Amino acid sequence: MLIRLTKAEDASAVVALDRQANPHPWGEKLIMDAFDSRQSWVVQAPESGEIVAWLCASQLYDQAELELILVAPSIRRQGIARQLMNAWLQVLQEQKVAECLLEVRESNAGAIGLYESLGFAQVGHRKNYYKTPQGREAACLYTLSLNEIPQGD
């Protein structure tokens, strides 16, 4: 799998991935805005060239925030999200970013498992933050101090 920064021509593939892989799709407009104003990376399958994962993040001074990570349903639980998160965290460390933040739906056990396996710690809980078809659910706030991760070679 190839992990690389997103290019403008990836937008339609990312919109299609969002439709297929995101239980709460962002839609074309938000994704186009993200291409303009955020940092993002894709994972590309080696032979088909298909875009199978996307990570979108923002950065302000020495803090970064994960906005979204998506992996195509057919290739989940193969470590793709972990590799993509690690690639992103390594870039942040190289840029001397100190802290990484994210918010996740309380019901999203898969994503919470991923973040906790990478060392993120829960620091907050916002009740009734997200809409659901049944009503509302809480957001869990997580943080990771990048100073605590050993630097790679």
Ligand X SMILES: CC(C)(COP(=O)(O)OP(=O)(O)OC[C@H]1O[C@@H](n2cnc3c(N)ncnc32)[C@H](O)[C@@H]1OP(=O)(O)O)[C@@H](O)C(=O)NCCC(=O)NCCS
Does 80 participate in binding ligand X (rule CB under 6 A)?
A: yes
Only segment of 27-35, 44-52, 107-115, 125-133 that touches ligand X (CB under 6 A): 107-115
Q: What is the distance between the alpha carbons of residues 35 and 143, in angstroms, rounded to a whole number?
A: 24
How far apart, in Å, are the Cα atoms of 29 and each of 26, 60, 91, 124?
8, 22, 27, 29
Q: Which of 28, 65, 67, 103 is catalytic?
A: 103
Q: Which of 79, 94, 128, 131 binds ligand X (CB under 6 A)?
A: 79
Per-residue DSSP letters for 58-108? EEETTEEEEEEEEE-GGGTTSSHHHHHHHHHHHHHHHTT--EEEEEEETT-
CB of 71 to ligand X, least distance (A): 4
Among positions 6-45, residues that touch ligand X (CB under 6 A) are 21-23
Q: Which of 39, 107, 108, 143 binds ligand X (CB under 6 A)?
A: 108
**Cβ closer to ligand X: 104 or 146?**
104
Q: Are strands 39-44 and 121-132 parallel, antiparallel or unpaired?
A: unpaired
Give the number of other CB atoms < 10 A from CB of residue 76.
Answer: 13
Q: Which of 15, 31, 34, 68 binds ligand X (CB under 6 A)?
A: 68
Q: What is the distance between the alpha carbons of residues 135 and 129, in angstroms, rounded to a whole number?
A: 10
Does 109 participate in binding ligand X (rule CB under 6 A)?
A: yes
Does 69 participate in binding ligand X (rule CB under 6 A)?
A: yes
- Tell me whether residue 61 is one of the annotated catalytic residues: no
Binding site for ligand X (CB under 6 A): 21-23, 68-71, 76-82, 104, 108-111, 113-114, 117
Residues tagged active-site: 103, 115
